[in-house]
Chains A and B, each alone.
Chain A
Amino acid sequence: MRVGIVCPYTWDVPGGVQQHIRDLAEALIGLGHEVSVISPADDDTPLPPYVVPAGRAVPVPYNGSVARLAFGFRSASRVRRWIKEGGFDVLHVHEPAAPSLSLLACWVADGPIVATVHTATPRSRFMHAAYPALQTALEKITGRIAVSEAARTTLVEHMGGDAVLIPNGVTVSRYEKAAPLPGWPGDGGALGFLGRMDEPRKGLDVLLRAFAELGPARPGLRLLLAGPGDVEEILGKVPAPLRSRVILLGQVTEEDKARVYHSVDVFCAPNTGGESFGIVLAEAMAAGAPIVASDLDAFREVLRGGQAGELFETGDPAALARAAARLLDDPERRAALSAAAAEAVRAYDWPVVARDVVRVYEAVVAAYGQVGAVR
């Protein structure tokens, strides 16, 4: 299939939507499809061969913050030209309700169009009702995909119709193999955490309290923390004698992320709520890390009810300490969990997820019958 994908946000700015599109495009190419992605980007930005730059995005206030978006007649005519030259069987736009390239693509294109909604946009009802141009553009979308139940609910409420739920994937091969950081995990055992440390729902406090329980009896045990956060504040929550055994890496690169998962004996996901899928959990599983995670619905599902990782009572440091201690003392159990996690995460591997997306493409193309390609 020839697939044209539209990215609404600047390619070289890190973001969930951009990462999703990159992984999807590469998975589709891996499955033998021809893919072209158009994205706002400066003409001199180094881009992967499958990305076509649509010109510079303009920083502009939108939805309470400043976003870099591509709008206007110039951007529209660049998208039009790309569609005309692409001869796509299907056009796949992302975040069509953002005032950027995806919306423009819907506006200028005709034919089988699939849209993926990533975030809930509570204002779209007002926008949708008020502006005929917007309505005309969004009405052309034939198939809709939502990446989470929340996105799906808002989409249904605001645009009517229904959406297929296809969650984000994880590129397993990116995490499968990586060298541990030098000196890790070490002989005394190591616990790990990755995520925003200043976000209470990520549950770092639960883990720090569990470490304070485990630390005194296990003199060699260390704790590896990766992610943005205030070092002083975090160390302040650790009893003074244990502080030298808590290592903070700060924000890490994509490559180092994979190494972190391979550097610990037990990876902890102590989230206290709000996680719809748990991309970090899926990455840790891809790396084959033995996992202890909060007993949240989403986590229980990904971890197959506890077969692919230990579950502990959400928010309970003592329960986390007990579960982590059990694993630290039982290398065989760790190896079994590691293998089970690597196996369970296959269902979320991008090539698998991409096949679900292709099924939506096929259904949408079939709905168009003989009318043919995007034009």
Chain B
Amino acid sequence: MLIDIILIVVAAVLIGVYVSWRAGRLDRLHARVDAARAALDAALVRRSSVALELAACGLLDPATSLLLAGAAHDARAAGEPTELAESDLTRALRAVLSQPDFRASLDGGPGAEEILAELEAAAHQVFLARKFYNDVVAATQAARRRWLARALGLAGGAPMPEFFEIDDSLVVGDGGGRGSDMPHLTS
């Protein structure tokens, strides 16, 4: 009799420990999603700032300048980054950078090399940040789909995190943005 009670108590404690460990893990995953999202947003903001800088640098023709400025402005106007506006910015950047002799046309312009290098770095940062964010979103979604998490509502009121899917490749001919591991600028 006493043995039974002890067993039940031990089982209850073990279950409790397990459940709170699962809940804690979910909590940590959600915290990582938030952090990864903040890093992604920062990378996107940096990319659009560099795009604006390129638009305003005075080395481009006004049409290219206007096109870039419009796309960068739209990416920022939404408040928090949206998939559509960020993909549009990628496409605008790709259209501008893939012009024949684009680099040559900027040749000798003050600061041209620096801005292009910064743009390349910013685009790569977006690529990496998005990859890390989507990875942790995938892990979190999988954890939340397990029966225990669903049955006990371990996630609480936290919204289900969603993937951030954009076209972020500046390489011409790689519209999907998922085929290449290293986005780089064409020259």
Q: Write the residues of chain A forming the contact surface with B, with a CB cutoff of 8 angstroms.
A: 58-64, 69-76, 99-101, 103-104, 106-107, 123, 126-127, 130-134, 136-137
Partner of A74 from the list B69, B88, B100 (CB cut-off 8 Å) is: B100
**A107 in contact with B70 given A61-B91, A72-B102 (CB within 8 Å):** no
Taking a contact as CB atoms under 8 Å apart, the answer to whether B61 and A76 are in contact is: yes
Residue among B55, B62, B88 having the largest count of chain A Cβ atoms under 10 Å? B62
Q: Write the residues of chain B forming the contact surface with A, with a CB cutoff of 8 angstroms.
A: 55-56, 58, 60-67, 69-71, 73-74, 88, 91-92, 95-96, 99-102, 105
Taking a contact as CB atoms under 8 Å apart, the answer to whether B99 and A69 are in contact is: no
**A60 in contact with B95 given A99-B67, A104-B61 (CB within 8 Å):** yes
The smallest C-beta distance from B165 to any residue of chain A, in angstroms, reads 16
Residue among B55, B70, B92, B101 having the largest count of chain A Cβ atoms under 10 Å? B70
Taking a contact as CB atoms under 8 Å apart, the answer to whether A73 and B61 are in contact is: yes
Taking a contact as CB atoms under 8 Å apart, the answer to whether A61 and B92 are in contact is: yes
Residue among B63, B64, B74, B101 having the largest count of chain A Cβ atoms under 10 Å? B63
Residue of B nearest to A102 (CB): B63
Taking a contact as CB atoms under 8 Å apart, the answer to whether A60 and B62 are in contact is: no
Chain B residues closer than 8 Å to A71, beta-carbon distance: 61, 63-64, 67, 96
Chain B residues closer than 8 Å to A101, beta-carbon distance: 63
* A133 CA / B55 CA spacing, docked (Å): 10
Residue of B nearest to A130 (CB): B69
Taking a contact as CB atoms under 8 Å apart, the answer to whether A131 and B91 are in contact is: no
Given contacts A71-B63, A71-B96, 4 further A-B contacts (CB under 8 A): A60-B92, A62-B70, A76-B63, A104-B62
Taking a contact as CB atoms under 8 Å apart, the answer to whether B100 and A103 are in contact is: no
Residue of A nearest to B66 (CB): A99
Taking a contact as CB atoms under 8 Å apart, the answer to whether A72 and B64 are in contact is: yes
Chain B residues closer than 8 Å to A132, beta-carbon distance: 56, 58
Chain A residues closer than 8 Å to B99, beta-carbon distance: 72-74
Chain A residues closer than 8 Å to B64, beta-carbon distance: 71-72, 99
Taking a contact as CB atoms under 8 Å apart, the answer to whether B70 and A127 are in contact is: yes
25 contacts between A and B (CB under 8 A): A60-B91, A62-B92, A69-B63, A71-B67, A71-B96, A72-B64, A72-B102, A72-B105, A73-B61, A73-B99, A73-B105, A75-B63, A76-B63, A99-B64, A100-B63, A103-B62, A104-B63, A106-B62, A123-B70, A127-B66, A131-B56, A131-B65, A131-B69, A134-B62, A136-B62
Consensus secondary structure, chain B interface: helix
Chain A residues closer than 8 Å to B71, beta-carbon distance: 61-62
The smallest C-beta distance from B17 to any residue of chain A, in angstroms, reads 53
Taking a contact as CB atoms under 8 Å apart, the answer to whether A99 and B70 are in contact is: yes
**A107 in contact with B61 given A60-B92, A61-B91 (CB within 8 Å):** yes
Partner of A134 from the list B65, B91, B100, B102 (CB cut-off 8 Å) is: B65
Residue of B nearest to A59 (CB): B95
Chain B residues closer than 8 Å to A73, beta-carbon distance: 61, 99, 101-102, 105
Residue of B nearest to A58 (CB): B95
* A123 CA / B77 CA spacing, docked (Å): 12
Taking a contact as CB atoms under 8 Å apart, the answer to whether A127 and B69 are in contact is: yes
**A62 in contact with B67 given A72-B99, A133-B58 (CB within 8 Å):** yes
* A103 CA / B88 CA spacing, docked (Å): 22
* A134 CA / B18 CA spacing, docked (Å): 64
The smallest C-beta distance from B93 to any residue of chain A, in angstroms, reads 10
* A57 CA / B70 CA spacing, docked (Å): 18
Residue of B nearest to A128 (CB): B66
Chain A residues closer than 8 Å to B67, beta-carbon distance: 60, 62, 69, 71, 99
Chain B residues closer than 8 Å to A62, beta-carbon distance: 67, 70-71, 92
8 nearest A-B pairs in the assembled complex, by CB-CB distance: A71-B63, A61-B88, A99-B66, A99-B67, A73-B105, A133-B62, A99-B63, A60-B95
Residue of A nearest to B56 (CB): A131
* A39 CA / B88 CA spacing, docked (Å): 25
The smallest C-beta distance from B175 to any residue of chain A, in angstroms, reads 12
Chain B residues closer than 8 Å to A76, beta-carbon distance: 61, 63
* A63 CA / B102 CA spacing, docked (Å): 24
Chain B residues closer than 8 Å to A130, beta-carbon distance: 56, 69
